[in-house]
């Protein structure tokens, strides 16, 4: 789930690029583990900064147009380039495993229940 250019531009400019972990919620759905990439994705030679959320869950359908709420909990590693797509995929899998380990810690699990993730009625999009 990629954030729009407007949202990316509103992120604090002093947040270091790299890979983060935290919690994500689509609409008023379940709060799920996520990995977040902030940066230029050097492997793909992006010229614009992006913020890409990988929710660690398999959705039955797309959720374009939904409200995506995230809480960034911690930092995994800096952004880097890769020699091959396979190396990139391997690093992503390692990032996901690290995120799962960290988010299972009691101090991180309690943040999953924060009221931040409960949208006011009427803010549910596409019946999710």
Instruction: Point out the residues that are catalytic.
Output: 52
| Residues found in the chain | 128
Sheet holding 18-26, edge to edge: 50-55, 31-39, 18-26, 68-77
Q: How far is CA 80 from CA 70, 74, 107, 118, 127, in A?
A: 23, 18, 29, 35, 38
Q: How far is Cα 122 from Cα 48, in angstroms, rounded to an integer?
A: 33
Q: What's the maximum distance between 2 C-alpha atoms anywhere in the chain?
A: 47
């Amino acid at each position: 789930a990629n954030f729009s250019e407007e949202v990316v531009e509103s992120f604090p400019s002093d947040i270091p690029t790299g890979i983060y972990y935290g919690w994500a919620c689509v609409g008023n759905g379940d709060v799920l583990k996520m990995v977040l990439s902030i940066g230029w994705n050097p492997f793909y030679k992006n010229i614009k900064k992006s913020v890409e959320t990988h929710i660690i869950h398999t959705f039955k359908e797309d959720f374009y147009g939904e409200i995506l709420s995230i809480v960034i909990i911690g930092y995994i590693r800096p952004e880097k380039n890769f020699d091959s797509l396979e190396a990139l995929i391997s690093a992503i899998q390692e990032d996901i495993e690290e995120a799962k380990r960290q988010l299972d810690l009691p101090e991180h699990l309690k943040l999953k229940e924060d009221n931040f993730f409960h949208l006011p009625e009427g803010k549910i999009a596409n019946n999710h």
